[in-house]
Every structure is written in structure tokens, then in C-alpha cells.
Structure 1
């Protein structure tokens, strides 16, 4: 169900409580709800001063949110009655499991259930249905599976004057899970960043889709904690690989999560990662310098002009390895020197580190920093305890990023820098398309008897399978030769993944993990992580190009061969593509469901089909791919200004890489763009139609654009009909589009296809057209593998 009715958990107009609190958290939750207007709250099967009492379920007034403290009276019949009476959300604030029948009754009525073992919710502009209130209003959402970590984060934030837009604890996730709340955060205008804690993923495909969607629009920092069943094992590297692939920034400890909170709330975006360091002592400067280097940041050396200007403000200052030692400079001189560094376009941030010193008043300096309005790009560190605490508090209240250690400050700066770096990495354009079986389909393994155990493929079968992906056995393997060990495995929650490591390698050599499918950009990043490089003069076997194509093909094999349970291969360098020195492949008798096997939606090659223009020319229609970016930019750049305005509702002078990457690097679970290309060749895009689904997959918005020279050739009609057939095959209930009133061509096309017109809810210059898509009696062959379960 995803985000439907989630707002009832945060901003309900009325609340009903079932039962009485049985423990301290329940009692504290009730005290928070006591703040509601008495007309908005009712208690069933309990008594409380100032609350309206309902003796029987039939006495309950309409209540958008139901808080369950006692699960005993909650039956499917009660849930259906509540839903019929307007209830849309339920917080199961107890540890008892939610009965399946209760969940089913809620699901049928779209009543969302948060819990069990939840810590509830709290909203800065809504209600607090939790034992832990928010410390204040802010722009960061806190999503967690653990009540104890949530309590620690909220308490730490309160001590540092940090606020939240809202928080939610998912607990046992019988219904509402982390993916749902990430979708909610992505669409929430009051939320500018997200802090996430999790130890498990209930639905990998759903989580990855939601995480990617949220991380595209706002930074998301995640803390992975061991699951209760993992016996306290360290961080799961497959989870870490999934986080990076989705664009999330991972932290590795609870204290780092706190630094991330401050970074997201108060530290601005980073462009270069260069940090100017100021301190009141050489040792302090060196400490900060080392902390920045450990976090992968660059201490920025003052230029000659800046150096001279800083010395004018603080004559006693000295330079140490790029840092500025202000020594005993007074507050006036310190602020003057900081202003010079803050005005420089060559640095992202300025870090001021202050150690207790005779004659210096830290709180007075903090007050003067606030009065001077120095907040943009400034990060301050007050070392110590007794004298530092009031200064840190004053800065925090003025929203100046302030920390008690240089390590915490450096980590916070790295999180901002890492978010920018992760987004840039995900926006790179691939040049290699490993989709080698888009037309004829992948090779098929020999069928196996149902229920038979997994079997290891004989050498000839394994060789034939690998050969179908362009991977040939090596002619001769020397024991001393370099190679790459690649293992395919199934993760219990995230499905199929690749593990890579140099072979032979020392015990300390790095290992990297990746989720298929892979393109050449991601493959190169992963091979760089195992120690390979781009240098042509490096020995064979130590260059990325020695293995890149072969690894991408193995990832495609993992996508296209669902029966592979695991595989172990050794790749060795060759002229064009690495060869296979060793392979052991184990296959199951039957394939698991795709959504449990692949955390990322693969490229839907099966959508490819052919159509014909009015003049008899044939062309191909297929799903868009990231490698289409150059052709798409050419098509958009050649379109007339009015065509662009009618499509994008504004004039666009130049289409940038970032814009085109957003249109071509899509999540096939949440979006679909069909492009028309020549029958032979990929160099041009003739037109495209796009659907963007809501997280539920029940509604989608369409858009279409064709090259001007193809107007009147039925290309736009074909692309629109195909995208509607795709939506119908996916079970989408409604497709809509917003069309400018003067766009007669699109309005005529919509009318021809059966859309109905309605007034636009916000813009009188637009018309909204809607349709409930239906497949024809004889569905197109390319739609037969689709279903609503694919969302």
C-alpha cells in the first residue's frame, strides 16, 4: 500500500485509544495525548480524566487514528467497524504480534498499521503519539526500527538544540515499514533530510525503490545495526552495497549518527571538500588537520593574498601546514580572520577549533559569532567540558554547527561531502550496454524435476552458459598470474549479489560487494575498490579494463538466470574480455520470485517491439536506458522553444547532463519511459512517452514528446497507446496528465484516446486529462509478462 493514509499516523484530526497503559512507555504516551483537545480524543475500554469514554465499540465517534494499548479487544470485526467509521491509521503500541486476520481486515479498508513493538510517531506540526516527544521543530525526519536508538537520538538532539520535522519507529513492521516512510519523507515539503536506522529489510525491491526516490531529492543518512538474529555480527557488507547503490550515506556507529543529525540540519552542501582550519594553538591545528585527512577531506591552505589579509586582522597568527594558528588573538581579531576565509570561493567550510585558554571566554566568543551572523560555511569546535558546554549550547541555539570534538566535526563535514559525491557518482552516464540478450532472450538451462536438490553444472554445461555471455575458458592459466575472484550469492533479504576480490591476494586485501545489474560506471567503481586502477602501464590483471566487461556480463547472467543459486569464478586477463580460469555454478530446480531475487528492477528488455509510421517506415519501441542520454539531449536540443514549453511548462535554453540523466536513469519499478528509435541503430531518439507512478502504483502521470519532423506520422499516438497499455498491464487504476490550455495537439490526442477533461486543481491555465487504462481484448504480446505484482 505504501504511502496511502500514512498522514493519519502523524496529523489525525481525532484519536481513539483502545485499552489502558500497561507499562511506563504506554503511560508516557497517554500523557502526550493528554495535550489534545478533549473533543479530539476518546478512550475505549478504559478510563482517564478529561477523556471521552466509549464503553462499546459502537459508541466510538469517528477517529482517524487508533492507538492500541491493549490488543485483546481488537478483532477483525472491530477493525472493519473502525474503518467504516473513518479510521485510517492504527499504532499498535504493544509488543504482542498483530494478528493476520486484523491486518487483512485493515488492508481491505486501507487502514495502515504501525507496529508491533513501535515507539509511535511524533510530528512537529501534528500530534505526538509516542512516549518520546520531539525536542523541537526542524527539517530532518527520523525513521527507525529500534525504540532504544530513537530515544537516544532524540535525547542527544534535545541537548544540541536540534529539531525534527517528524519521527516514526516502525518496530516489527507488520504493515508500515521503512520503505513506506521513506516514500512519505520524499514527498513531504517540510522534510529536507532523513536520518534512518535499520537492521533488516522486509521487501528489498520496495526498500531500494523508496530509498532511491528519497535520496534523489534530499540527503539520507543510514545507520545499520545488527539484527536480533545475527548474534551481534558486524555490519552486513551487502546492506552497505545496497545503501551506496541507492544513494544513501552510511554511518557506522550511533555517535556518528548524531554527527549526521547535525550535518543534515545545519551544514550546507559541499562542492570541493576543502576546509580552512583555524585554531588557538599549533597542536589543536594539527589535530584538526589530521582529523580532516582521516575523513578524506582536504585542508585548504590560505593563498598569499588571504594570508596577508588574515595577518592584518590577527598579527599574532601563524600558519601550520595550511592551518591558521590564531594563538592568543582576541575575539574581534578571530572574527575578522574568519570573515576573510568565509568569503573565499575556494573553500567549502571554515572550521574554528577552540581549546580552553587563560583569558579567553568561550561563551563570549560564541555570543559574538552569533551576533556577527557568521553561520554560512562555518563549523565550530569547542574542546573541553565545563567551559565548552555553554558555548556549544549558544551556537546550537543559533543553528551554527557546533561540536565537542574535531572528529565529530570532520565526520559531519564528510557526510555532506559524501552525499554530494554519491549523487554525482549515480548521475554518471554509462557507455557500455551489457544487455546482450535483449532480442532473442537469454539462454535457457536444462529443465529439472520439481523438488530435486540443487546441482552443480557439469563443465560442458557451465562452459556453454558462460559462452552465451561472451565468457570463454582461458587457454592456459599460470599459477603466478593475477586474477579476479567473483562470487555470486543470494542474500536472505537483498537477494542475488556479487562479491569481488583480487586472486591471489593477501588476507588484508579489500573485498567489494555489488547488486546486479551493473553498468560500466558502477563496475569501474567496484573494481577500483578492490585495488585496480586505470593506469595503462600497470601489469595485466591490475587494471580495471582487464575485467570490467566480463564483470558486467556476469552481473547480467545473474539477472537473466534466476535458477543460479551460487557461482564461484576466477577471471584472468585477456585481449578483449577477461576469460574464465575456473567456474563452479550451482543451480536450483526452480527459480525464486524475481522481486525476492533482485533488489533492483532489471532493464525490461522484453518490452521491445516494432511499429510502423504512416509512410511505411518501421521503427523500434523499447524502454529507455541510461546510454540513451546523448541521443535524448540531441532530440531535446533540436525541439522548438514552443514544443519545449508545452512539454515542460517553461522555456529551457539548454538541457544539461543532470536533467538528461534524471530522464534516462530511471527506476523501472516506479517509472517507465518508452523511446522510439530507428529499426536499425541507436544513434537517434525519435520520440518518448513517460509514466511516473505514485508509490502505490495505482496512479501515474504521463508525458509525451516527439521530434517535430515526425508530427502527423502516428508516432505520438503509438507511443501514447503503448504507455497506456503498459499502465493497464501493470494494474494502474488511473493515468492523468496536465496539459496547457493552448496545447491543442495534446488535448486532441487525449480526446482521441478516451481521456476525459477536468479542471486543474491549482492552475487555471491547465487542463487535467484522466483515463482508466484498459487492455484491448487481444493484448499486445510485449505486455503479457507484466502484472500489478511487478510494482
Structure 2
């Protein structure tokens, strides 16, 4: 993961066009002309063997003849020439290139190496970054840089657009220019051989010219890199994704329900959601997203008021809003009274506010001002259909100052064609999101609502779920080790239940037997009634061969059921092996709801967790949702409530509500199991029966494979690193040094309140009386792949976990430098905690092979300065004398 040298890609002082030409409609000619026509102020060097001048500029025969090393090179020459050009550019000092050439993966040398492989090998010694190959190029409108062969230029704006499709690049560019929508960066990713989505998201997250990000995605290659970058970017900037390739040709073969149901697109959807981004499903929605991102301010709520001059469009908008999960604002009494005074008697008297088709501009303005001042309204949508009574552009002219000075978001829909073009244009010019239909307007509004909800989900602090007493890792691992040593991938049902029970998941009492006689004896021991199930490594779903019998209440019934199962197995699957039966007590749960919890392993994102409605018809019903581990309480709740069966888990009629906490806890325990045991590749609990008394697993399947060293990196999101926990002795008592957890929110808040105002100012550089929820979430919900925070915890019998101090560092995407901070509770200073926490942090940074630890503090923070001096930090005072820069080499 790196953003190294990407600055040269987006802010070059000089550009070389290798393959520049005057041949009409050629790529080399188009790029060269675009650079000149765009007004790029830096040096432009055309390179071509066949020309001496182009467009009045001197042409250089080769890279080595250039007067200086260009910051950026645009390559539009045949595939065979690209590796050599990259090597030559690297030698002369160029650090960024855009390779427009296609076909580099197809063309090979005599040894079978593709030109793309040779290109990457040539760039590596020089850290020369490559955009492409097979791309349209890039545009940086603020620099007047058009390093592309797009047919139109981009105008400056605050949206960054990144696309894997060249056609989407040119299509969006053309559409946006016709609407006056600008961009900060416009990037064609192409094949993404070097610079990929993760790199660009990291760069754009810190780009001051970019306020929102738009991605057109077909596939990603490095899941963890993408997830870390996406989570960081989406926390600070609205990030919208259109992911192509949603439809699968068919379900994949799998040994579990989860494996069959967890399609790759659903996994992408789960990843996008987990990162806090917004997904759109069509080009039309993408256009709406561009319009919304370009003009809409941050949204403070989801209550929408609709102001219209026609009932029909207002009803259409309302239907779209409710169907999309939005909320129609309930107007305050004061607003209703004010509207009564300014509107005709036959207005709608509700939201949508229909002010009647003959409304003059003044009526619109009065109603809009009232709605914009209503505390129950978060945003207002204006819908206007043209009439012959009042010209639409007159209404726009009168409304413009009202809308421009509104403290709330206003969206507009000028519903029609030529009659509303001027009105639509005038609203766009004052920065109002403007749409052609009510549905499009609602869709744009809901995109921002979804973004806000995703951010709220990221900021929630999960409740702590005790784990230590529930988990017997050795028991689970021993079962799996035994199965693998005997050459088996599928655990038997009793083995699978033993693994689940080891992680605190309630399972029905089950015994594994070989013969029918053994089954009768086991039933007698367990107690009737019992369930009997056939065991065979060749049978994926027992019910397919009649391999399940329930409510057997006598030994004779058990014997008959077992004999019939064997007959059916031989008849339906004559080659199937039988290893016996499982006998289990019948779980009497008359109000139980059948659920499924499962795990499948995606080829890109690794393990995924599924929750939904269970039973034998699970593939038909397809009521399920998917999430990426690791899960906590908040994420488990979100997973459950994305399914239809969630509503049935609440109480209805005479049924008591199911124990929701038990369901959430089970999901978190499954997540723990998957994180701890990399050998598990598929898992099904179906059914997991849930009622008011809790949950119980009636049937379970687990498939395992040998785990290899790289298995620790199989998760797309790095889990909590429990291996970094350490008990130490501090002043004759034991304290725990460990990475911070999302569940530490309440303890961290208490820690903050225990700091003096001077210490708060030293830590955050500003005076703060309270720690905002968003800041608290950012401090406790960290990405362990790129940042770390160690907390010193003291356990108190009366107060539980008590936070004594925190040390943290955030590494740059290049893993070269990390910025650090250390804070000790104000009443515990001078007792060695700062030294302990700094030692832990520096040891971690060494293990990560970081090269430098840096920090900044106020000159008045004498305690930190003294600590830094003890560890050998260099100290440099800032130019204004208010802060001190600290630096420690780690090599």
C-alpha cells in the first residue's frame, strides 16, 4: 500500500508525451493537443523519432535527449516499447507515468514474460508509479492538466472520479460538462497494474481539493488494502461506488447453504457497506450521485419536506421516498399555521405542500422560507411543473435568493422539457442539486441519507461482550486437527457441534454412533424423544436422502427410522459412504424461529458471515444478509436487521420476542471462531432456533482445510491483534497493556474526563469540555492494519476496567513514518506509565519495520518533551514557536 510519488502524477511541473504525433485521430496526437489546449502551465516535451517539431514545439528523439527529467510521462507507444521506456524514464529521474497503451498482458517476450510484468519490473528500482496501462489518462482541472485522450476537458470542482472503464470516463465527463459539474481529479484506472483503487483512495482522502469521491468499479485485487483505504476515505468524504457485474451466471457448487448463497456481488456489497461507502446500481443513479455530491451540503437528518405546484409529482416523490426507506417530515404546528396564512384555502394542508398550479413566485418563496425554518425539516425538495400562468424562469429568479441563503439543504426538480430549461440552469448555477424527475431527486436525497446512516453505523460504540469465559480454543482446534490428520475435510455433525460449543454457542445434546443398535442405546441414554440423522461424508444435505427423522419416542421407532435411512441412501446414492448416525435430544421450542448462520470463503475478501431465515428451503427463500468479519455487537445488529425475518423475531400476536442479544452474541462468537481458526472454510448452523429463552443449534456443518502461514492475512479487515496483549507489573499491581477495542468507548470517555483541561489542550491542541461521539469512535474504532493504540488497563472489582493511559500511532500508507501520541491520566503522571506506553509503542513500530516515529506537541507540554528526550527524539521548534516537532529514527 503506497501513495509514494503520486504527487508527481497529479501535480507535475513538466510532462513528456512519448509517442506525440500529428497523425489525425491518433492517441499521441490527441493527448498532445489536449495538453496544449487545456492550458497546462508547465513544460510539455513531445518525444518522437520521426518529427523535429510539433505544434511549434521542439520534438525530442528519445527520453535521454530531454532537457530535464519530466515529472510525468504519458506513454502512447506500442506494447513492446513500454518496459524499455519505463526503465529509461526511471533512470533519468521521472517518478510517475501514465501508460495509455493496451495489450501489455497479451504481448510477451521470448521467455514468455508479458510486457506488463516487464514494465512493473522496470519501474520497481526507481519507485516510478504507473497509472494504467490500457487507460484513457487523467485530468486535473485545477492545474489545467488534461493528460488524456478524452474528447472534452473537465472543469474544476470538488469531486474526484476514478473509473476502471474508459467508456464511463468519457461518458461521465461529457454529461458533467453539459451540466456545469466540475471535478478535482478525473482518473482512468485502466488495468491498474501498479496504481490501484487502494492507492488512489489513500491519496484522495488527504487531497485538499477533493471533497467527495466517485468510483466506477469492476473488480479489485487486494481486498485488505482496498478496505483499509476505503474505510479511511469514507470516514472523511462521501464515497459512492457503482460496481459492475452484479449478476452471476449461476450459483457455485458448495458443501453448505452459505457457500451456495454468498455470491461474489453480495460480498462486494457487504464490503462497500462495511467501509462506509454508498453503492449505486445503475448509470442513472451514478449521474444522480454526481449531481448530489457536486452541490449538496452535509445532511443533518433524513426528514424531507416536499414543496410542489402539483399533486401528482408530489405523490410520486412521496412514494419513492417511502419505498427507498426515507422519512416524510411531519411539519410543526407553527409551520402549519404560517402556511395557512400565506397559501390559498385549497392547498394540501400537509406534507407534500401542494401550493396549487397557479402559484406565483412570491407564493413559492413564502412557503420555502417557512419550510426552511421548520425544526422538524432537514431538507426541502422543490418540484415545479410548468404552467401557462407563471413562467418557470420567473419562479426560479424569485426563489433563488431564498434558496441561496437557506441554512438547510434544498433540492430541486424542474419537471418538464424546454419550458424549464432556463429555470433548471439558473438553479444549477447557484449550486442547488437539480434533477429532471421527482424519482431522480428522491434518489439523490436518499444517497446522502444512506451515507449519513453508514457514518452513524461507523460511529456507534458497541457494547462489550465477555469472551474469555465462553471460549475453549484448544477444544475446537483439537477436533479440527484430528479430522485433518485423518484426511477429512468435513467434520461430522457431533464434531461440528463440539467446535461450536467450545465457543459458547448452545448446541443440542448429540451423540455419534455407528450402527442402528448403537443408535437405540444412545437414545435410551439421552432420553426420548430423540432425532436421528444419517452421517455420510458424501451427503451434503441430509434431508435430500431422507436422512432426518424427528420426534422418535421409542427404541423401535429409532431402529425402524435407521434401517429406512440406510435403504434410502443405498437407493438414491449407491456410492455414498455411511459412517453411522447422530442421535440428539429433541429441542422443544414451540415458538422458535428457524435461522441460519453461516460462513463461506470468498476468493477475494476471504471469510464472510451470513445470517438469515433458516430451514430446508433456505436457498429458495433467499432471505439473508452478509457481513465481513470481525463483527462486534453493533455490526451484528446491523446484519440481523438487514433481513426480512428480523421483523418476525420481535413479538407478534401471542408469540414472545426472541432473545435478540443471544442472536447477536452468537454472531460475534462465530466471528471469533473464524478469526481464531483459519482452517475453517465453510460453516453452517441450520437451523439455529431462537425464541425468548435464547438460541440453540440443532444442526451444524463445518468444512476445514489445512491452514498455511498466509492464512492469517485471509481476512479483508485485520482483526483485533490479541497477540499484542501483555500483563506487566506496575507499582506492585498487575495491569494489562493491549490494543484498544471499539468496546472501550465508555472507558475512554471516563479517561478523557479524568484529564485536566491543560492535558486535554496538550493532547488535542484545543480546549475541549466533551469528547464528541464521532471523535470517540475514531479514537477507539481503529484499523489495526495501519494504526495502533495501546491502552493501559487496571481491573477494579467495583468499577471494572479502568483506563490509565494511551499511546497511539498512525502509519502513513507507505509504512515509512508513523505519527504518535502518548497521554497518561492526569492524576497518575510521574509514575512511569508514559515510559511503559512509549516502550510498547516503539517495540510495535520496530516490528512493523517502520523507519521513523514523528509527532508534534505544544511547547508547553513539558511532560511529553521530557519523555521524548529520554527516548532520544530529536526536537525542532516550529517557525512560529508555538509547537515542537519530534522525530525518532527506528532503523
1:374 Cα deviation after fit: 3.5
1:41 is aligned, of 42, 45, 49, to 45
Per-residue CA shift, 1:100-134, capped at 9, x if unaligned?
A: 23212312211111112222111121211122355
Separation of aligned partners in 2, 1:86 and 1:501: 56
CA contact (8 A) 1:16 1:66 kept: yes
State the TM-score, normalizing by the size of structure 1.
0.91
C-alpha contact 2:795 2:802 (8 A) present in aligned 1: no
Q: Work out whether 1:457 is the aligned partner of 2:497.
A: no
Q: Secondary structure in 2 aligned to 1:557?
A: helix
Counterpart selection for 2:776 from 651, 660, 664: 660
| CA deviation vs aligned residue, 1:41-93 (integer Å, no higher than 9, x gap) | 23244533333322233212310111110144646554344223221111110
Matched, 1:769 2:891: no
Query: Would the alpha carbon gap of residues 288 and 56 (structure 1) be closer, same or farther in structure 2, given more than 3 Å must change?
Result: closer
The alpha carbon displacement at 1:622 in A equals 0.4
The aligned counterpart of 2:351 is 322
Q: What's the counterpart of residue 148 of structure 2?
A: 130
Work out the CA distance in 1 between the residues paired with 2:405 and 2:715: 45
Kept after mapping to 2: 8 A contact 1:733/1:773: yes
User: Per-residue deviation at 1:164?
Assistant: 1.0
User: What secondary structure does 1:392 align onto?
Assistant: helix
Change (3 A) 1:462 1:56: same
Change in 2 beyond 3 A, CA 1:635/1:152? same
1:11-30 aligned at under 5 Å gives the runs 11-20=11-20, 26-30=28-32
Match for residue 515 of structure 1 among 628, 646, 649? 628
Residues 525-674 of structure 1: matches in 2 within 5 Å? 525-530=638-643, 531-533=645-647, 535=650, 539=655, 542=658, 544-570=660-686, 571-573=688-690, 578-591=695-708, 593-594=710-711, 597-613=714-730, 615-674=731-790
The aligned residue for residue 837 of structure 2 is: 719
Query: Aligned-pair distance for 1:592?
Result: 7.0
Is 2:793 the counterpart of 1:677?
yes
SS of the aligned residue for 2:272 comes to helix
**Cα separation, partners in 2 of 1:371 and 1:100, compared to 1, 3 Å:** same
Partner of 1:778: none
User: In the aligned structure 2, how far is the partner of 1:592 from the partner of 1:198?
Assistant: 30
Equivalents in 2 of 1:153, 1:561: separation in Å? 45
**Conserved in 1, the CA contact under 8 Å of 2:472 and 2:503?**
no
For 2:625 and 2:300, locate their aligned partners in 1 and report how far apart those are by CA, in whole Å: 27
Cα distance, 1:435 vs structure 2:
4.6
5+ residue gaps, structure 2:
105-114, 253-262, 509-584
Aligned pairs for 1:291-370 (under 5 A) are: 291-315=320-344, 318-319=347-348, 321-327=350-356, 328-370=358-400
The residue number in structure 1 matching 2:158 is 139
**Alpha carbons 2:213, 2:239 under 8 Å: kept:** yes
Of 445-454 and 486-495, more deviation after overlay is shown by 445-454
Cα distance per residue 1:619-666 (max 9 Å; x no partner)? 110000011111111111011111111122122112233222211011
Cα distance, 1:441 vs structure 2: 6.2
CA 1:345–1:45: 2 relative to 1, 3 Å: farther
Q: For structure 1, which segment, 690-699 or 129-138, has the greater mean C-alpha deviation from structure 2 after superposition?
A: 129-138
Bigger mean CA offset, 521-530 vs 367-376: 367-376
Q: Which residue of 2 aligns with 1:782?
A: none
User: What is the CA–CA distance in structure 1 between the aligned matches of 2:677 and 2:244, rounded to whole Å?
Assistant: 32
The count of aligned residue pairs is: 772
Task: Give the corresponding residue for 1:789.
Answer: none
Q: CA RMSD in A?
A: 2.9
- Please tell me whether the aligned partners of residues 43 and 51 of structure 1 are also in contact (alpha carbons under 8 angstroms): no
1:54 matched residue in structure 2? 60
Q: Matches of 2:332 and 2:125 in 1, distance apart?
A: 67
* Contact kept? 2:348, 2:354, Cα under 8 Å: yes
Which of 192, 204, 208 is the equivalent residue of 2:223? 204
- Pick one of 130, 134, 137 that aligns with 1:113: 130
Aligned: 1:104 with 2:98: no
CA shift, 1:312, in A, is: 3.4
Aligned partners of 2:486 and 2:55: how far apart in 1?
65
- Give the aligned partner of residue 226 of structure 1: 245
Shift of 1:456: 0.6
Structure-2 change in CA distance of 1:363 and 1:765 (3 Å): same
| Distance (Å, rounded) in 1 between the aligned partners of 2:42 and 2:665 | 66
Match of 1:485 in 2: 596
Task: Check conservation: 1:138, 1:163, Cα contact below 8 A.
Answer: yes
What is the CA deviation profile of residues 212-236 of structure 1, one whole-angstrom value per residue up to 9, with x for unaligned ones? 1011111111111118997999981
Q: Is the 8 A contact 2:313 2:438 kept in 1?
A: no
Q: How does 1:123-272 map to 2 (within 5 A)?
A: 123-126=140-143, 127-132=145-150, 133-226=152-245, 236-272=265-301
- Measured in 1, the distance between the counterparts of 2:621 and 2:599 equals 21
Please state if 1:754 is matched with 2:761.
no
Aligned residue in 1 for 2:450: 418
Deviates more, 1:441-450 or 1:425-434: 441-450
CA distance in 2, matches of 1:394, 1:452: 75
Distance in 2 between the 1:321 and 1:25 partners?
A: 58
**Unpaired segments ≥5 residues, structure 1:** 775-791
CA-to-aligned-CA distance 1:444-484 (integer Å, 9 cap, x gap): 35558999977112344323322220124214246985221
Distance 2:484 2:132 in 1: 38
CA contact (8 A) 2:794 2:802 kept: yes
| Equivalent residues in 2 for 1:490-509, closer than 5 Å | 490-504=601-615, 507-508=620-621
Between the aligned partners of 1:158 and 1:639, the Cα distance in structure 2 is 52
Q: Cα deviations across residues 2-54 of structure 1 (Å, max 9, x unaligned)?
A: 21111222221111122246965554323211234584323244533333322
Q: Deviations over 1:554-575 (max 9, x none)?
A: 1111111111121122222377
Say whether the 8 Å CA contact 2:75–2:82 is kept in structure 1.
Answer: no
Point out the structure with max Rg over C-alpha: 2
Q: TM-score, normalised by structure 2?
A: 0.82
1:396 pairs with 2:428? yes
